[in-house]
Amino acid sequence: MTGEHGARRVRELLGALAGHGKRPPARSTPLAALGIDSLAFAELVFALEEELGVAVEGSFDPTATVGDVLSAVEDARVARGLDVPRRMGRLQGAAGLAARVPLRWWLDLRVEGAAHVPERGPAILAGNHESALDIPVVVVACPRRIMFMAKQELYANTFTSWSLDRLGAFRVDRNRFDVGAIRLGLAVLGRGDVLGMYPEGTRSPGELLPFLPGAAWMALRTGAPLVPVSVVGTERAGEAKRPRAVRVRVTFGEPIPAARVNDPAERLRRAVALTATLRHAVGAGLRPQGSPPG
């Protein structure tokens, strides 16, 4: 679809994203050898949409080579954008209302800072991840509907997939360059909704792991503010044998503004610093009130 000019441009973009200027890498070069991660690959895909008008879809193995990318570009369809499916999140409001009273009673749920969630417009809620209870707890605590990225492993069968979809979750393959999930997350923000993400990438009760830069990158690409979310107690509450045995606290921090950055390489660089700011804010919310910074 793109011809010789398009193939050369793909290689130039890969070289630029890898910090090699515009020197095109060889077709046999593995993406890993260039230092291309999932976000750099997303930058490539969106640059191709803007420059060549083609949409590379699906997910890609990190062991792929430059030649594999060129083949995918040749097979790519004409870019037409992506809309959020109407069915996604349709039942979240009703489910949240039904769960609100019993969840608050069983978990002794306390919510702080809910007014920090913007009343309208796109926003990214990003926080720590203690247990599977985090999502329903944050949905109940948040004054707005949230669309969540959820790991693909949760979609074990047809019923679970149907339920997660209607409750506002969409799958992401953490082991691949999942361009489709990134597209859908950007589409959620593009229509002015709230996107929920867990930058740790996995559950980590009692310990705040290093944050992945995806949430910060999304903010810098769209200009959506980052709202830090700190959840305490869900891991212990999930093991409790009686109601109100463990207090669960959800704290929404002050939004972190993120000005839109148009240059792909600069956006990737700034995402690192913004991620550190986000992690610090989430960590501050995990500490008991009045305790000194750790």
Residues 236 and 128 in one domain: yes
- Beta bridge mates, 226: 124, 256
Is residue 192 located within the same domain as residue 276? yes
Q: Which residue has the tokens 């903010």?
A: 219
Give the H/E segment covering residue 147: strand 146-151
Residues 6+ apart with CB under 8 A from 60: 41, 68, 69, 72, 176, 177, 179
Q: Give the C-alpha separation, 247 to 244, whole Å.
A: 7
Q: What angle do CA 265, 82, 166 make, to 5 degrees?
A: 115
* Residue 36 shares a structural domain with residue 106: no
Q: Are residues 167 and 207 in the same domain?
A: yes
In a domain, 227, yes or no: yes
Does residue 119 share a domain with residue 36? no
Domain boundary pick from 47, 78, 109: 78
Helical segments of the chain, H only:
3-17, 38-52, 66-74, 92-107, 134-141, 158-167, 179-190, 214-222, 234-237, 264-286
85: in domain: no
Say yes or no: 7 and 136 in one domain. no
**Domain stop point among 78, 113, 131:** 78
3-state helix, strand, coil in the chain (%, to 5): 45, 15, 40
170 close to 181: Cβ distance less than 8 angstroms: yes
Same domain? 146 vs 22: no
Q: Same domain, yes or no, for 230 and 280?
A: yes
pLDDT tens digits in sequence order for the chain, 294 residues long: 456 777 888 888 888 888 766 678 888 999 888 888 899 889 988 888 888 787 787 778 888 999 998 888 887 776 666 678 888 888 888 888 888 888 888 888 999 999 999 999 999 999 999 998 898 899 999 999 999 988 888 888 888 888 888 888 888 888 888 888 999 999 999 999 999 999 998 888 889 999 999 999 999 999 999 999 999 998 887 777 777 778 899 999 999 999 999 998 899 999 999 999 999 999 999 987 655 554
**What range does the domain containing 127 cover?**
92-286
Predicted TM-score (pTM) of the model is: 0.87
Alpha carbon distance, N-terminus to C-terminus of the chain: 54
Domain containing 34 — which CATH number?
1.10.1200.10
